[in-house]
Structure 1
Amino acid sequence: MISTRTPVLAAADLDRLTAALDLIGGHDTHSALAAAVPSLDADQRAAVTRHATLDHVALLIFPETLAGLADELSARGIEVGTMTPSVVVRERLSSRYSVPVADLQVGILRAPVTDRNGWPCELEIFVLVTPPSLAHIAEDERRHQRENHVGLAVRRPDPVLLRGLRTMIAGVMRPDGGGYNGYENSSVLYFRDAHRADPAFRRLELVATGRFPQLQALHQRESCAGTELLRLLTGAWATQAIATAAELRLLDHLASLGDLPSLAAATGTEPRSLARLLRYLTSLGVVHTAGDHHSLTDLGELLRSDLTGSMRPLALMYGGPFYRSFAELTESVRSGEESYAKAFGAHHFAHMATDPALAELFHGSMAASNAMFTGVTKVVDFSRARTVVDVAGGNGELLSRVLHANRDLHGVLLDLPNALAAAEPRLADLAERVSLVPGDFTRSVPADGDVYLLSRVLHDWDDDQCRTILATCARDMPAHAELLVIERLLPEAGDTDSLAIPWDIHMLCNTGGRERSESHYRSLLAEAGFELVETHALPLDAHVMRARLL
């Protein structure tokens, strides 16, 4: 007899069930993880799969009634067990569509299946009973498939292991909610990548037996895109808080004082206002607070003015002149021209040349990033060179490091007179091996060097000016000489975790220059007659590119 029973499920849901079964049958833990999180490298995926296995593939379906649902699924070869209440998905749907939780009947059905290697898995079916009044939810969820996901079960979970797995995945996928299901004593953490080409792998779930309230709270907080955006929007406040601490020399006083009254007296501040600043600096990781006592963290130590390599001048520059120029970023984006000149009436090099105190602060801020130079003498062999020419070398920090590491070298520092005046005391202990040469490096460079240094110079200029600088070097350098270019490099593609990206906007605002990728520099060098031989990474996301004349 042919059944005349009206189907419980829409054809669209039946097709999605079939697709979910095919997905499980076509994958195992390794391949599912590679498809869901391709940004993890092979070692990271191996680390995850040591602690988690493919557990299920899930989707949300929308029958108008539960009557006959199990039979209809069975007819499709999907044998489900007893339905259990859904807590997490029910709350997500309630929040997403502003429907009271009490008006949503959501359950979970599970059907045993196997992956492509025959290992047991489950098809996890979330069921939203969908009367006509909720049809709009079904239509929207089928279109966007927000609750579809691939689930990994964490074996032997503990807070440390689960936090580590969460951190690794959250580095490449956005946290997307989760929760605790008391009916099953399980915690779930969802992650989402809205840009994945295959919608079947846009969401990943970590499921772990037990309850982990602190980790869940962190995950929920980071799942709110608005929270993350507010953190970004308050970045300027963090800059000003650190700059204020630097201006007050608060970090210097924290090296010996810890109580609020003493700190307020030493800094000349109102105690209650200072307490609020200290609380913010604590949240930023610059200050450590325990009860009523305050002390420096490792980050805070970097801002002490009495330490070699202090980053205090950098904080004052970023919270002062550069902060003002960034207020004109919109105009820079519209015009393509630097905003520093709009804020101060002159290009920043010209402006600083007329203000000795500001020029000194700028040179100090440049020195604050000199940690990038620590790797140069380790990756570059200077043993066959006799003379090193530092072109536009500022206060001579890089040249000093090279000469101290190579006792037989002679150094030449080429720069404008005001820069040489700042460099002279820095190079005093090397005076017998250093020549200070005033000059305009865009017009000529000394012709007797074996190695030429261009450190953080090219990024100050547009491509045309870079061509002029490199062509000048190529014309005046001896045929055997090498050129070392030290810059931050923009990622070639995909990767966004590089200091070069925000620094590129900084250069747009403050010099009219730009950061570039390695391939961009390779092209500029080739146009000037250089071959880029090799590139080495340095601290602070810098790189040294070694080039030679063709």
Structure 2
Amino acid sequence: MIATLSGDTSRLRTTVDFVKEQDTATLLPRLLPGLDGPELRALTEHCRFSHAALLVFPSDEAELSAMLTDCGLVAVAPPRPSVVVRERLAARHRRPAAELDVGILRPPVIGADGAHRMVEVFALTVPAGSGLDAIAAHERRQQHEAHVAFEVAAPDPLVLRGLCASFARYGAAPDGGGYNPHENGTVFYFEAPAETKAGYRRVELYVPGDHRDELAAHLAEHRARQPAETLLRLLTGAWTTQALAVFAELRVPDAMDTERGADVEVLAREVGAEAPNLATLLRYVAMLGAVTECRDGYRLTELGALLRSNTPGSLKPLALMYGGPFYQSFAGLGHTVRTGQVAFDFLFGENHFDHFARDPELAELFDQSMAAGSAMFDPVPAHPVLTAAAETSAGATVVDVAGGNGELLGRILAAHPRLNGVLLERPHAVEAARRRLAEAGHGTRCAFVAGDFADVPANGDVYVLSRVLHDWDDERCREILRHCADAMQDHADLLVVERVLPADGSVSLATAWDLHMMCNVGGRERRAAHYDRLFADAGLTLVNQSPLPLDGHVLHVRKAPGPRPATE
């Protein structure tokens, strides 16, 4: 093992020298030949050379420590698990990830220009007799994990997309990446162009925080270079839905911890499952990022924690709905495309509103699933229309039309103690909303109306239609909007919360929900211009729109000046 250690030490010392000698402005053009002028200045402004990385293979921590000392490096913290590299090694060598003990260290280095940088040391422990020597030999030859890295200074989504586009423009191709929950950081890997002069073929953009939305687009480009694998991943999407639904249904997330690992045998007894089968499920959801393998079993990630029961922001009701009734009805998508009939109606013999209303458990699950997407609502209470209403001398009233279980109205009332509320809903939903708002302390400030759209209360100051119009065809939407217009006084505002289809065809959750609404509900998502026409037909006008999380939008609508359009 002495010769191996010496060889790894030599490789590490070369990496240290490289980090000391380079700087951002000189390294980028070497990596991406042709990059200069304004674009080089822009890249230099938004990212900085932070480290070079190397994978080494000590037999234990003592040998790793000796290697670092011999290269003049001092580790400021003990090794942390390297999720991304471990998964890459496991996939490349077809070994279970649990067998690969990969740690990561980042000892500091001072560059010749005085800048503080690091050497990123990945260490795959290769104990004597472990059978991992072949992996070590292969990785030393191929240098798959050796790379140079740039840290993004301002991790804004637009900046990330611009950086990725610039790298692609100069020949760098997406080459994977991942999110490391242990340090809350996201990495974007690129393969450097063939003509690179930097001596490294892999480049990393490191972004502090969780940026899995941008990462998903980056990984999609990487998979697009491997069409057969991409198609297989797409075709097995139904397995993902069921795996997450069963993971939630069995309450496995409730039995797990985000700080410590849990043994599969113990978990199986707690949730009432067969241990070998639960292990297979956990391996799959680990691939999805819901759990992660560690020395003492499986640990729940922040993503997986969203499937816990009765916790703020839980998406468990959505998992059960999409893995249950809507999963069954999606099997009829072909029928919908061929005939135009809603698949849910075809399979269950009635529309989903009536079907759920007749089953109290399903009705409650549906209302919970609607509230589960509440992250979309986060910025709504701060909308200027609501802020202005709260600042009037008299207590203004917000009318939430088809307001479900009161999730959004409760948020608005909590943010603005001077506002009053009215919630219109079906009788069973009104009772659920009454209980929810009373528990939140808003019961005395809110009135409840059990009824239909024809019963929209008059004399409100702000009306809210949240995720309502996408349930219906255009004619029913016009009818709903006319009821709102009839109830609204001239000074009143209407806030419509919906996912809006992008006009340029870019990737959006709205496109996925458009398919869902067609298949299961009989509604549709729409572009802003389409909504504008529906508003005009009801005597309303679109004032402006603003984005929300989860690809949502708030459309601010007022009554149009002049006479109302004639109804047919």
Q: TM class, shorter-chain normalised?
A: 0.5 to 0.7
Contact 2:367–2:404 (CA<8 Å) still a contact in 1? yes
Q: Which one of the candidate residues 144, 149, 156 is aligned to 1:160?
A: 149
| Helix, strand or coil at the partner of 1:209 | coil
* Pairs aligned (count): 385
The CA deviation at 1:212 is 4.0
Q: Pick which of 252-261 and 164-173 moved more.
A: 164-173
Partner Cα separation in structure 2 for residue 230 and residue 330 of structure 1: 20
Q: In the alignment, is residue 366 of structure 1 matched against residue 370 of structure 2? A: yes
The one-letter code of the counterpart of 1:440 is D
**Equivalent residues of 2:148, 2:200 under 8 A apart:** no
User: Which position in structure 1 is the counterpart of 2:446?
Assistant: 434
In structure 2, the partner of 1:47 is: 43
Structure 1 pair 158/189, CA: closer, same or farther in 2 (3 Å)?
closer
What's the offset of the Cα at 1:325? Answer: 1.0
Counterparts in 2 of 1:137-176, with a 5 A limit? 158-161=147-150, 168-169=164-165
1:262 aligns with 2:266: yes
Cα deviation, residue 214, structure 1: 9.6
Task: Find the residue that maps to 2:379 and give its secondary structure.
Answer: helix
The alignment status of 1:475 with 2:479, answered yes or no, reads no
Change (3 A) 1:362 1:172: farther
Q: Which runs of 5+ in 2 are unaligned?
A: 1-32, 49-145, 153-159, 176-188, 205-218, 561-568
Cα separation, 2, equivalents of 1:300 and 1:432: 37
> In structure 2, what is the equivalent of residue 408 of structure 1?
418
Distance 1:535 1:368 in 2: 23
* Counterpart code for 1:410: N
> How far is 1:206 from its partner?
7.2
Establish whether residue 484 from structure 1 lines up as the match of residue 473 from structure 2.
no
Q: Distance in 2 between matches of 1:529 and 1:472?
A: 11
Of 207, 215, 233, which aligns to 2:196?
Answer: 207
In the alignment, which residue of structure 2 is the partner of 1:422? 432
Residue aligned with 1:279, SS:
helix
Shift of 1:50: 8.8
How far is the alpha carbon of 1:158 from its aligned partner?
4.6
Q: Give the deviation of 1:538 after TM superposition.
A: 1.3
**Which amino acid is 2:196 matched to?**
V
Comparing 383-392 with 511-520, which one deviates more in the overlay? 383-392
Equivalent residues in 2 for 1:104-503, closer than 5 Å: 158-161=147-150, 168-169=164-165, 189=191, 207=196, 209-212=198-201, 223-255=225-257, 258-380=262-384, 381=387, 382-383=389-390, 384=392, 386-428=396-438, 429-441=441-453, 443-496=454-507, 498-503=508-513
Equivalent residues of 2:244, 2:319 under 8 A apart: yes
Q: 1:534 to 1:177 in 2, by over 3 A?
A: closer
Change (3 A) 1:525 1:171: farther
The share of aligned pairs that are identical, in percent, is 48
Matched residues in 1 for 2:414 and 2:46: separation? 48
Letter in 1 for 2:555: M
CA distance in 2, matches of 1:503, 1:414: 25
Q: Which SS does the other structure have where 1:548 is aligned?
A: strand
Contact 1:329 1:339 in 2 (8 A): yes
**Counterparts in 2 of 1:303 and 1:455: CA distance versus 1, 3 Å:** same
Q: TM-score w.r.t. structure 1 length? A: 0.64
Could you list the runs of 5+ residues in structure 1 that have no partner in the other structure? 1-27, 34-41, 53-156, 179-186, 191-203
Q: 1:406 to 1:50 in 2, by over 3 A?
A: closer
CA contact (8 A) 2:173 2:190 kept: no
Give 3-state SS (helix, strand or coil) of 2:500's partner.
strand
Moved more, 343-352 or 248-257: 248-257
Q: CA deviation at 1:469?
A: 0.6
**Change in 2 beyond 3 A, CA 1:51/1:305:** closer
Note closer, same or farther for the CA distance 1:479–1:165 as it changes in structure 2 (3 Å cut).
Answer: closer
Residues 43 and 272 (structure 1 numbering): CA distance in 2 closer, same or farther, change over 3 Å?
Answer: farther
How far 1:267 moved relative to its partner?
Answer: 1.3
Match of 1:283, SS?
A: helix
Task: Provide the aligned C-alpha RMSD in A.
Answer: 3.4
Distance 1:265 1:50 in 2: 50
1:265 is matched by which residue type in structure 2? Answer: R
1:368 partner letter: A
Matching residue of 1:526: 536
- 1:418 is paired with a residue whose SS is helix
**Letter paired with 2:267:** L
Corresponding letter in the other structure for 1:435: A
**Greater Rg, structure 1 or structure 2?**
1
- Name the structure 2 match of 1:69: none
Deviations along 1:2-48, one digit per CA (max 9) or x if unpaired, are xxxxxxxxxxxxxxxxxxxxxxxxxx9589x9xxxxxxxx9899428
Question: Aligned with 1:330: secondary structure?
Answer: helix
Following superposition, the deviation at residue 292 of structure 1 comes to 3.9
- Secondary structure, aligned partner of 2:313: coil
Report the Cα distance in structure 1 between the residues aligned to 2:268 and 2:250, rounded to whole angstroms: 10
Contact 1:445/1:477 (CA < 8 Å) preserved in 2? no
Query: Aligned pair in 2 of structure 1 residues 220, 294: CA closer, same or farther (>3 Å)?
Result: same
Is the contact made by 2:148 and 2:203 (CA closer than 8 Å) also made in structure 1?
A: no
In structure 2, C-alpha distance between the alignment counterparts of 1:514 and 1:175, rounded to whole Å? 39
| One-letter code aligned to 1:434 | C
Aligned counterparts of 1:166 and 1:480: Cα–Cα separation in 2: 42
Cα deviation for residue 478 of structure 1 reads: 1.4
Aligned-partner residue type, residue 281 of structure 2? L
Shift of 1:208: 5.0
Q: Distance in 2 between matches of 1:433 and 1:524?
A: 32
What do the CA deviations read for 1:257-286 (whole angstroms, capped 9, x no partner)?
Answer: 711111010111111111111111111000
CA offsets 1:304-332 (integer angstroms, 9 cap, x no match): 10312311111000100110111111111
Q: Distance in 1 between matches of 2:426 and 2:40?
A: 49
SS in 1 for 2:262: coil
State the SS of the aligned residue for 2:149.
Answer: helix
How many angstroms does 1:175 deviate by? 8.8
Corresponding residue number in structure 2 for 1:125: none
Secondary structure, aligned partner of 2:299: strand
Indicate if the aligned counterparts of 2:241 and 2:322 stay in contact, CA closer than 8 A.
Answer: yes
Q: Which residue of 1 aligns with 2:557?
A: 547
Cα deviation for residue 244 of structure 1 reads 0.5
Change (3 A) 1:252 1:477: same
Structure 1, 249-258 or 402-411: larger mean CA deviation = 249-258
Deviation at 1:342, TM superposition (A): 1.6
**CA 535–214 in structure 1, closer or farther in 2 if over 3 Å, else same:** closer
Instruction: Report the Cα offset of residue 161 of structure 1.
Output: 3.7
How much does 1:233 deviate? 1.4
Per-residue deviation, 1:343: 2.0
